[in-house]
Structure 1
Amino acid sequence: MMRIKILFLLIFFTSFLSVANENKVSKIDKLLTRYHQLEQFNGVALISYKGKVLFKKSYGKANFEWDINHTIEGKFKIASITKQFTAMLILQLVEQKKLKLDEKLIEYYPSYRADTGSKITIRQLLNHTSGLGNFFHLDGYKTVEARNPYTLDEFISKFCSEDLNFEPGTQFRYSNAGYTILGKVIEHVTGKPYSEVLTQQILKPLNMNNSGFNQQHSILNNRVTGYKRLLNRLEHPSFIDMSVPFSAGSMYSTAIDLYRWDRGLAEYKILSKPFTEVLYQVTEHRNYAAGWLVDNYPEARFGKALTRVHHGGMIPGFNANISRVLEDDTLVVLLDNTGGAPMTAITEKVLSIIYDKDYEEPELRLSQQLYKMIIEQGTSISIAWYKTFIAQHEGFSERQLIRFAYELVDANEQQAATAFLTLHAELNPKSIRAQKALNEIKQI
């Protein structure tokens, strides 16, 4: 009799979980469909819970010119998510006793600038406390983005070797230069190209057969095309030679392969537990560890904080986001090919559904609302509405407003662009950047 009761309870509990999961799947699909309808998500999503895939689906076009729909097998640029793979390779070398985290950079890259290379440690490169900058601001970098004429050593010498912004270990500053240097360290220690080490040490062991280092001139099945979304259309983004982001951002992958990556990490398939935990050890300066941001995620049902590790990636034409709740083996992967998708907001809402928490429904971005209003009701009404809005809510930042103004010019709404910049200049008379943008737009 007792066995029958236990069996009945198991059947009931299993059925209850199945219904609950079906309800969550329906809510997730409705959420992502709404984001797609609002032109804020165009791509692929995969969500797993307790290590099992709960949801995977694609939304929109992988190629708009050829009217090709996304599939779950689509290969996306994942940009800075590459950093966690680079961090993994470094930790593997540490576990193999070929590297020491607290050894100075100069020991593993002898030709690097000696005065700074003798101060920076490998650990500081991993957690962005090295003092190095981000190289985007340096003279000549924009030209190199489109066509990189340099070898790796030459690129590092020119763009990753500037004076330190602070004493290593004393502050945090996100640095692509630091992760580019880590790629060089991997090559120097192993004697092999970064792409080869990546394939041998991570991708093959985890059966990530649809991921790799982006060789843009090679033929790649299911390669997704990237786009830039403007107010009234899509266009192709600026071209970037993928040798430039290198070990800081040059990988491509699929949602399914990133699930395999998650399983490899959770099950310690390619790195022991003690060294895997180093990947999530943050510094006192920021919640950044080694290729992962780390924070607490409040689990609503039991009131306990869980550990969430996550990272985003952004490169012209693409957004990517991976978020993992470690104790529950929860994974959210989002891949988008129209640029500028609100990946953090979408991820937060998906997690809210999984953990039975309330969330706000998606809505048009402020720029979308205003553009729609300008088209339908004119500039004056739009300006009046925006004045009322910013009296009660946070409006555009200066950077966002300037971008919105130039997007309006692109959409042949120069009068509206001038009106919004004029309003901003009146409210912020000391704003030099906005005044400069206003002068430029008036001359167009």
Structure 2
Amino acid sequence: MLSKVISAVCLTLWVSHCAVSAAEDPFMTKALKLMSETPLIDGHNDLPWQLRKQFNNQLNVVDLNTLNTTHTNIPKIKQGKLGAQFWSAYVPCDTQYKDAVRQTLEQIDVVHRMCEKYPDNFMFATSAQDIRTAFSQNKTASLIGVEGGHSIDSSLGTLRTMYQLGVRYLTLTHSCNTPWADNWLVDEGSDPSEHNGLSQFGKQVVMEMNRLGMLIDLAHVTVKVMNQVLDMSEAPVIFSHSSAYSICKHARNVPSPKIVNVPLEKTTKIFTFEKLKSREKKGIVMVNFYNDYVTCSKTANISDVADHFDHIKKVAGADIIGFGGDYDGVTRLPEGLEDVSKVPNVVAELLRRGWTDEEVNAALGNNLLRVFTDAEEVRDKLTNKKPDDVPIPYAEVNKNSCRTSHGYPDDVTGAASSLSTLALQLTLALQGLLLLSAL
């Protein structure tokens, strides 16, 4: 009870402070007004991972009203006027071939439990209409995005199950290749390309996501994958938390229409915003606030972040821009954007730079609502298409020694079994030789 009283007092003091600040700054006054009319939809927040790291997902021992070791808590969400949030169901790459599915399910579970524990603040959402409904009720619509294709363990059945649990986007890779897609580190030159972008199974994943109505997130993939997906996907795509490469030349950012040099292959690859903004499948780039992606250095400020918004608007228009702060997933944030409560500062800066109300509303949430609605329309159009049940070839996943081969043809599993038997025989023979030498 005391904690709620303290939170209420803090919120009242902050509102009073904002009223004074707004009176002094007409751009902030306008920003807060627009944010009360159009939901701010953020593409990526790692609070669930912080709950895992700090509390092992024991939500019963956490009070999100008073939690002060994260960028995100309920008072900060209210202060930042966060209308909708894609919470990241993220687990690290070291879970690949191990327990990635279980750990991802636990992250999905913690988001559901957040909504159940704080029903006055959060509303679980799975559709564009749910976002609008939550906003009308002054609640933060809570959606789930799975960050990293390793979380589905190369299984379309797992992908579908996660959709049924409320997952509405999948980031195709994180910072590791999957058995079917290359990650952004390939473009940086620190990882080898294994699939020249997407494998055949990777293309199946993309098409099955279209059929489900699950958004395809390209935030962590190679330029090659970006282009392949944009060529294939019937639905718009998202970059849930990426900034502009032309402003900060980091491989995690989205390249402009200009040629991008890829050190690994010593060739050029081209990514064009023309594909991203094409009329029939216009996507969205949700700007990341991480200093390293904003200025390619350890420091940044609000103006630096606004430069990314300005650049994307200049080359592709205001109708493909959104917010993807990456709060609680990064270690360095710009001065003036230290936590989720500070996001209105970006909105005020855009207005100060001459952005129109319509452009700001588009970036706040209207662009994402359009993308989400378009993906739902593609899903509805494909309603008679059967689920894809062709599995990934066993040879592409049998590097996992713990993976069984039930359901695969005997000749495939037999060959794998023979190789395993041969390896075992060689190991035993070597052990025998070592034993003899010891004697």
Fold in common (TM above 0.5): no
Give the alignment's TM-score, normalised by structure 1: 0.22
